[in-house]
Amino acid sequence: MDPLMRRAIITGLLGGAAVIHLGLIGMIDAFQSRDTIADVLTLGALLPILIALLIGWRSGGPMRAPHIIPTGRRAVTLGALGGGTTGLVITALALFTTTVDVRWILSNASPSLAEELWYGQGAALGSVLVIVVSATAGAAGAALHVIPGTIARALTVGGITAILVALMEPFVVAVLRNIGLRILEDLFYAQGGLTLIGFLLVFAITAAGTYAWAIRGRETRQRVAAMPPDRRRTGKLVVYFVLAAFLLLLPQIVGSRLSEVVGTVGLYILLGLGLNIVVGFAGLLDLGYVAFFAVGAYTTAVLTSAASPAFAPELPFFGALPFVIVAAMLIGLMVGTPVLRLRGDYLAIVTLGFGEIARILFLSAWAQPLVGGAQGILSVPPPIPFGRDPQSIYYPILFFCILAAVAAKSLASSRVGRAWNAMREDESVAEATGINTVTYKLLAFGLGAAFGCISGALFATKIGTVFPVSFDLLVSINALALIILGGMGNIAGVIVGALVLVGLPELLREFSEFRLLIYGVVLVAMMLLRPEGLLPSRSRRAELHEREDTEEQYAETTGEETGRPVVSS
Amino acid sequence: MPVRRSRLNLLNLFLWVFGGSILALAAFGALLTIQQGRLSGDQWQTLIIAGIALGSVYALIALGYTLVYGILFMINFAHGEVFMWGAFTAYFAATALSDAGMMASNPILAFLLVLATAMLVSMLVAVMLERIAYRPLRGAPRLVPLITAIGASLVLQYTARGFYGSGVRAYPDFTLFDGSIELGPVEMTVKQFVVIASAITIMVLLYLFINNTRTGRAMRAVSEDKDVAAMMGINVDRIIVTTFAIGGLLAGAAGILYTLLFNQVHFFMGFLPGIKAFTAAVLGGIGNVIGAALGGLALGILESLGPNLLLTGYGIPAPNQLKDVIAFSVLVLVLIFRPAGFLGRKDNV
């Protein structure tokens, strides 16, 4: 058989398997209640179509071995074949769920799933429709290879943005209402998703914008680069000022409910920044990071709460904070020392063990007199000058996030950060160049612990109670997933990761049920496809640019070209 | 470099003091408990038998870790989930057979059928795991496959949750295995006997397979040196898949045996047994087959006896809440004192 066709069919079958998986875990059914385009397309119906599109894109693309690049009509036909195969599998799944009742095993394999897969059109019409739609989507996916690259990119960006904007409905609507722009809301949003006009508008605007940027962007960038340095500095200042004003006003803009979400995202940014020091900078995969979060929360609760079973004097939050940090750093050293000589994967499991030990100890009857056992500790006061409502608690979180980001950034470029870097790349070589790996590993654990415990302390004051159930392994996994999605070792990456992996599921009720499944897929997919993360660390590029900049400055001041150094150091 | 050596010695000293004091505390606790005589000899015996039964399940899972580690030098973090899928399959197979009446009419065949289905499905899951999550990453930096493994573990867990629901399901009863039997002076429940006997049979079969078959020899060759093995005409990829498949079969068997002991299945049930079996594999010396079996038994007994033996002496309330702490502490202690385990090769750690 023709290898291209074989590939198209196999890819199509894989796509079908993906749809079967999504269907049987109940995701298609759960997403049925969220519209992408109101009254036209639900997210549940969109999922199989997107998968068919992706399958078509893969089927119509270039092939590596044997090396063949399908072109023009052939590529589109292959895409249609791939998408159509997926459609056939979907039909088979729908038919299966209507004829055989296996609901005692697979609770979601119900006739209602078939109805959803058939777009509610019944078996005959629905089957034809599914196959046709999937094949068309596949052809469209393959067509992205055929049309010029800039246009394909513009269409992709437009499509993804439109879907995301539709998904963000609860968020955007709340913001629009809060700042009094109901007109926009009525134009773009209907209950649960974008209106058709809104969807097309968003799509057209972003696609056109992307296209324009692709054509004219280079020019603009050059113009900015050509601006005199003092004007560039003013520009930067304006950007920073706008950013600062935005961050300060954020709770007022988004309203109370969303401030709650923003606060949670902030706590995870803190956790991510701390874990990033341990994992991203120093390369020590710590799976028990939740232990520091827990220690931070419990120490704060014990020291500040009037209801804590032990330790009577109630310190104010900022009075307790130094003790909390010292406690967590000590725990960090305690966890760090026994694992100093362990290699990466062992270290991961031992730290996982430490995390579990911490949780079990906090839960146990033995430690109850100190930390309250399963009853936890109640009435943890808010940090003094602020109330506990989400809009006020946002500010201490923001403060510590900025502090942590600045600290992490300066650490990364300091001598310590470079030592960590060397240690991460090759421990033996690092040691041979005179880096004391023991000290630097302990330093990473200690500082990571400090960041984690501040997050825990804020968490305790934010919700006002501390229960052992809040501190299971999933917190560690969550923090790990977000730094891996964003890009290990990079601060902007942590923020993006937290927004996507913590913010989105908090906003979308339908997602939260599949949150951990999505984390798992993110971890696997990122490692397979893009191990450096969405926003990879720019340190290397920055270093290169630094040299270019100094050379430029030198050329400007002296008016002569720099000669390349003969011996590079 | 004398300076460096002294620093390392200081670290070693600290670790030995740290580990030594934990061991001393444990020994003192045991002494106190025995002195107070809270439990009778029979009770101790019951605990030990329960520990051996649990330990033989750990041993089966631990073998999967050790086999994969011996060949790929990676920790298959998702192995506990393979075990969980075996347990779920066993649950559905047992329910189906019980509804069909076979459990009553032909219980031994029913048990073997359930065992076979569970092992088969676990094997498929393990092979798929290797193909999708690990094979594309062979040769990547160490942390990369570990992170994929964590991801795969989440996917397997929450797929099971989505497929089968999040509730705890009670296992149908194998009436055949009710009651208890006496072996000389030792009394145990039939279930415990079945678990121990099945586990021993499977482990003996595995041992024979590894030592006496062509594939077994190839596996040993690949674990010695992949490149040389490939030069000798061994298909390394196939051997790796075989290793995952065997690990899956063992985990599937462990799945049904574990549910025989505890009578329930749940989507999160793979996590703790997985970690503990890993501890068992490390205890015996990871990469070493016999070590994994013995490590499993040792850990099972320790977990069953530990809380009562080591902690009650200090008057700690509800010591059984802390049994997982004991397992994890064992892991930490082993890695401090004998990172290569008791039977392992030094170069593995």
Contact A9, A82 (CB under 8 A): yes
Question: What count of CB pairs under 8 Å joins A to B?
Answer: 161
Instruction: For residue B163, list chain A residues with Cβ-Cβ distance below 8 A.
Output: 24-25, 105-108
10-residue block means of pLDDT along chain A (569 residues)? 86 91 87 79 87 90 79 86 91 88 82 84 86 92 87 89 82 77 74 79 88 81 78 84 85 78 88 89 85 88 74 73 86 81 78 83 75 73 69 84 89 87 83 85 89 88 82 84 81 85 78 84 84 64 47 49 37
Q: Do the chains contact at A25 and B142, CB–CB below 8 Å?
A: no
Q: Which residues of B touch A516 (CB under 8 A)?
A: 154, 157-158
Residue A349, min C-alpha distance to chain B (Å): 8
Task: Test A520 with B154 for CB contact under 8 angstroms.
Answer: yes
CA distance B306 to A469: 25
Is B349–A352 a contact, with Cβ atoms under 8 angstroms apart?
no
Chain B segment 14-73 residues within 8 A of A by beta carbon are: 14-15, 18-19
In a domain, A321, yes or no: yes
Q: Per the CB < 8 Å rule, is B155 touching A340?
A: no
Q: Is position A161 within any domain?
A: yes
To which H or E segment does residue B337 belong? helix B323-337
Instruction: Output the pTM of the full model.
Output: 0.84
Which residue of chain A is at minimal alpha-carbon distance from B152?
Answer: A520
- The answer to whether the CB atoms of B150 and A523 lie below 8 A apart is yes
Q: Which residues of chain B lie closer than 8 angstroms to A533, CB-CB?
A: none
Whether residue A522 and residue B148 make contact (CB cut-off 8 A), yes or no, is: no
Residue A44 is encoded by which pair of tokens?
């549940």
**DSSP string of B217-243?**
HHHHHHHH-HHHHHHTT--HHHHHHHH
Query: Who's near B68: CB < 8 A, 6+ residues apart?
Result: B74, B76, B79, B243, B244, B247
Using a CB-CB distance cutoff of 8 angstroms, which residues of chain B are in contact with residue A346? 75, 282, 335, 339, 349
Helices A229-275, A491-498: crossing angle, 10 deg rounding = 60
CB B284 within 8 A of CB B66: yes
Answer for the pair B273, B23: CB distance below 8 angstroms, yes or no.
Answer: no
**Interchain contact, A364 vs B140, CB within 8 Å:** no
- Give contacts of A433 with chain B, Cβ < 8 Å: none
Closest to A349 (Cβ–Cβ): which among B164, B278, B321? B278
- Domain assignment present for residue A50? The answer is yes
Structural domain total, chain A: 2
- A106 → closest Cβ in B156, B163, B332: B163
Partner A contacted by B349 (CB < 8 A): yes
Q: In this structure, are A154 and A252 located in the same domain?
A: no
Q: Are residues A383 and A530 in the same domain?
A: yes
Answer yes or no: do A44 and A151 share one domain.
Answer: yes
User: Which of A21, A351, A357 should one mutate to test binding to chain B, selecting the residue with the greatest count of B CBs within 10 A?
Assistant: A357
* Pair A278, A312 in one domain: yes
Scored b (16 or more CB within 10 A) or e, A488-525 reads bbbbebbbbbbbbbbbbbbbbebbebbbbbbbbbbbbe
Residue A565 lies in a domain: no
> Within this chain, do residues A22 and A109 fall inside the same structural domain, yes or no?
yes
CB spacing of B325 vs A366 below 8 angstroms: no
A403 lies in some domain: yes
Q: Which residue of A has its CA nearest to B92?
A: A105
Q: Does B100 touch chain A (CB under 8 A)?
A: no
Q: Based on the domain organization, do A213 and A267 belong to the same domain? A: no
CB < 8 Å to B162, chain A: 24-27, 108, 514, 517
B 175-214 residues inside an 8 A Cβ radius of A: none
Residues (pLDDT < 70) of chain B are 1-9, 38, 175, 313, 315, 317-318, 344-349
Residues A184 and A91 in one domain: yes
Interface test with A, best of B159, B323, B328 (most A CBs within 10 A): B328
**Cβ–Cβ < 8 Å for A287, A345:** no
B332 interaction partners in chain A (CB closer than 8 Å): 338, 350, 353-354
A558 occurs within a structural domain:
no
pLDDT at A175: 79
The partner residues of B189 in beta bridges, in order of sequence, read: B180
CB contact (8 A) between residue A25 and residue B158? yes
Residues A269 and A217 in one domain: no
Cβ of A107 within 8 Å of Cβ of B332? The answer is no
Note whether A517 contacts B162, CB cutoff 8 Å.
yes
Q: Which residues of chain B lie closer than 8 angstroms to A438, CB-CB? A: 7-8, 11
Where among A223, A257, A291 does a domain terminate?
Answer: A223
Asked if residue A561 is part of any domain, the answer here is no
HSE value, Cβ hemisphere, 13 Å, CA-based, for B69: 31
In the chain, the amino acid numbered B270 is: G
Residue of B162, B271, B278 lying closest to A25 (CB–CB): B162
Length of chain A (residues) = 569
Disruptive mutation site among A275, A289, A345, A371 for chain B (greatest number of B CBs within 10 Å): A345
Alpha-carbon distance A426 to nearest alpha carbon in chain B (angstroms): 11
Q: In whole angstroms, what is the distance from residue A343 CA to residue B141 CA?
A: 12
Residue A290 sits in the same domain as residue A148: no
Q: CA angle at residue A431 from A428 to A437, to 5 degrees?
A: 105
Residue A555 lies inside a defined structural domain of this protein: no
Nearest CA in chain B to A442: B11
Task: Give me the domain span that covers residue A184.
Answer: 3-223
Rounded to a whole number of angstroms, the distance from the CA of B204 to the nearest CA of chain A is 29
Mutation site, B14, B79, B147, interface A, largest A CB count within 10 A: B147
DSSP secondary structure of A441-456: HHHHHHHHHHHHHHHH
* CA atoms of A252 and A261, how far apart (whole Å): 13
Q: How far is A212 from chain B (nearest CA, A)?
A: 38
A137 and A219 together in one domain: yes
Distance from CA of A7 to the nearest CA of B (A): 17
Residues A281 and A213 reside in one and the same domain: no
Contact A514 B7 (CB under 8 A): no
> Which of A223, A256, A274 marks a domain boundary?
A223
Query: Which of B144, B161, B163, B323 to probe by mutation at the A interface, max A CB count within 10 Å?
Result: B163
**Most A CBs within 10 Å, among B18, B154, B278, to test the A interface:** B154
Q: Give the integer Cα–Cα distance in Å for B251 and B128.
A: 15
Q: Chain A closest CA to B137's CA: distance in Å?
A: 7
Strand stretches in A197-324, DSSP E: none
Q: Which residues of B touch A17 (CB under 8 A)?
A: none
Give the B window 126-165 contacts with A, CB below 8 Å: 132-133, 136-137, 140, 142-148, 150-159, 161-165
Predicted complex ipTM: 0.84
A256 and A211 share one domain: no
Interface of B with A in 67-96 (CB under 8 A): 74-75, 77, 92, 95
Q: In chain A, which residues have their Cβ closer than 8 Å to the Cβ of B270? A: none
CATH number at residue A476: 1.10.3470
Domains with residue ranges and CATH for chain B:
49-348 (1.10.3470)
Best probe of the A interface among B66, B155, B334, by most A CBs < 10 A, is B155
